[in-house]
């Protein structure tokens, strides 16, 4: 259990890195990296569960947490640059969507785990992030931040 408590370290380490990345104008590259890392983390987690490799599963959790934090920091940076005077409202809508996505993810994880175990759950996560990455690739504008 203590090993998985360290998974939160990934996000704590990624946040300042994401801020520096955004400050240097690399929002799009950072977002792409975050999505690719998240897909890789889900695939690694699926393999680790099948191989019963608990330490590898913990590493996948750290990577997923870092990727999520990286994406969130960069996403908020872009959103807040749209209309600085509306940051509170923009953040409220953003966080509502994040929590709704988390709730939907919890439902999908429960169903996939019941029908196919952890490997199926990790596969669903990888597919969802893969879909987000494909959508990301269709966006050709550069970030304003």
Q: For residue range 109-123, list pLDDT tens digits in order.
A: 999 999 999 999 999
Tokens of 38: 């998240």
CA distance 38 to 18: 15
User: 108: buried, middle or exposed (CB in 10 Å: 19+, 13-18, 0-12)?
Assistant: middle
Tokens of 29: 């590259």
**What tens digit of pLDDT does each residue of 71-101 get?**
999 998 988 888 888 889 999 999 999 999 9
Domains of the chain in sequence order: 2-138 (1.20.1250.20)
C-alpha distances (whole Å) from 87 to each of 18, 80, 98 are: 19, 6, 16
Does the pLDDT value for residue 145 go beyond 60? no
Does the pLDDT value for residue 5 go beyond 80? no
Taking the model in full, what pTM does it have?
0.85
């Amino acid at each position: 259990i203590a090993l998985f408590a360290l998974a939160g370290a990934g996000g704590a380490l990624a946040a300042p890195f994401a801020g520096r990345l955004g400050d240097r104008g690399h929002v799009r590259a950072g977002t792409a990296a975050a999505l690719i890392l998240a897909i890789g983390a889900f695939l690694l987690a699926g393999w680790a569960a099948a191989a019963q490799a608990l330490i590898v599963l913990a590493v996948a959790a750290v990577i997923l947490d870092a990727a999520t934090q990286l994406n969130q920091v960069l996403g908020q940076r872009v959103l807040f640059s749209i209309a600085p005077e509306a940051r509170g409202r923009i953040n409220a809508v953003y966080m509502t969507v994040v929590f709704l996505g988390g709730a939907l993810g919890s439902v999908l994880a429960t169903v996939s785990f019941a029908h196919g175990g952890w490997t199926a759950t990790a596969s669903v996560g990888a597919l969802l992030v893969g879909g987000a990455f494909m959508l990301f690739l269709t966006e050709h504008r550069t970030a304003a931040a």
